[in-house]
Amino acid sequence: MAIYYLPSHEYIRTEGDTGLVGISEYAAKQLGAVTYVDMPEEGDEIAAGEEFGAVESRKAASDLFSPVSGEVVEVNEELVDNPKLINNAPLDAWIIKVTISDPAELEKLMDQEAYDKYCSTLH
């Protein structure tokens, strides 16, 4: 299992040829209390770097971008009724589960150390 990040603060936690996609702790703190999560449908195809949904809070709305290309095999239904789960534990409150169609795309993402360094430059 490994976790990779986009500069737009989405993560993918990989396990074999699938991955769980959500937003980072940094993004969750910046957004504040999440009030709504717009998710794709199971079976939808998503592409690396392209928008697949949105997260809304009292402060802002933020588009979600996919770290990889693939098929959405599951959406986190718990977030429909309880979007604040993202604030409580962003790495556990994943938004979608995807089948990764091109594992080489992971090499273009930041690992934890690079992402932490990136976030430290944003203050």
pLDDT at 1: 81
**Residue 52 pLDDT exceeds 90:** yes
Q: How many CA atoms lie within 13 A of 46 on its CB side?
A: 30
CA pair distance 30, 27, nearest whole angstrom? 5
List of residues 6+ apart from 25 with CB closer than 8 A:
90, 91
pLDDT at 13: 97
Please give the average per-residue pLDDT across 54-80, as a whole number: 96
Q: What local confidence, expressed as pLDDT, does residue 14 receive?
A: 96
Q: Is it the case that residue 64 has pLDDT exceeding 80?
A: yes
Asked whether residue 87 carries a pLDDT value surpassing 80, the answer given is yes
% of the chain with per-residue pLDDT over 90: 96
**Taking a C-beta distance cutoff of 8 angstroms, is the pair 18, 98 a contact?**
yes
Give the pLDDT score at 89.
95
pTM for the model: 0.96
Q: Based on the number of CB atoms within 10 Å of its own CB, is 72 exposed (0-12), middle (13-18) or buried (19 or more)?
A: buried
* Contact status, residue 21 vs residue 14, Cβ threshold 8 Å: no
Q: Please tell me the distance from the alpha carbon of residue 58 to that of residue 96, in angstroms, as a whole number.
A: 22
